Amino acid sequence: MTSTKRSIQSGKPSLNTKSAALAAGLQILQSLSLIGLGIYQLIQYGWPPPEQPAQPAGILQWLRIELATSSLGLIIFGGITLLISLALLRLKNWAWLTSMSIQGWMLLAALIAYARNHPNYLMMVLGVVVVLYLNQQDVQAAFRRKPGEEI
């Protein structure tokens, strides 16, 4: 008898469910960090950028717009990650693959930022921990259930 079937009969959550909830919790922490960082950048750099004098300000205006766009991007990306985290909590079959894909994109963005001398070590560490945790056998087992199977 599998641990999932035992947990249904006993009424207690299985190790699979607890592990998946912990993975979702880590990803929720990560998404809230992204949203917080985006809000911080918006507050610090402001939006819309203030009008610049007619001097050679073209590059300065572009930089301010790029910074604000990246902060808006962080907020949007954090919101999407938060929605995927909630799907992880509900043990949706598609949530594991989507979460791993998002983590791959986040780690790629962190590596690019690191190469540009703007490292974000918190996002790197959280990304690696979430990927390692999602790849544990009991977490994967929670998402391998058949579409009609209950937990």
- pLDDT band with cut points at 50, 70 and 90 for residue 109: confident
What is the distance, to the nearest Å, from the Cα of residue 52 to the centroid of all Cα atoms in its chain?
35
10 part of a folded domain: no
Contact in structure between 146 and 21 (CB atoms under 8 Å): no
The secondary structure element, H or E, covering residue 114 is helix 93-115
149 part of a folded domain: no
Per the structure block, which two tokens stand in for 35?
């949203």
pLDDT of residue 130: 92
Number of domains in the chain: 1
Domain with 61 in it: 15-143
Q: What is the per-residue pLDDT across 1-54, written as a single tens digit (0 to 9) for each?
A: 444 444 444 445 566 778 888 889 999 999 999 899 889 888 887 765 555 455
pLDDT of residue 36: 93
pLDDT of residue 113: 80
Q: Which of 91-100, 106-115, 124-133 has the lowest mean pLDDT?
A: 106-115
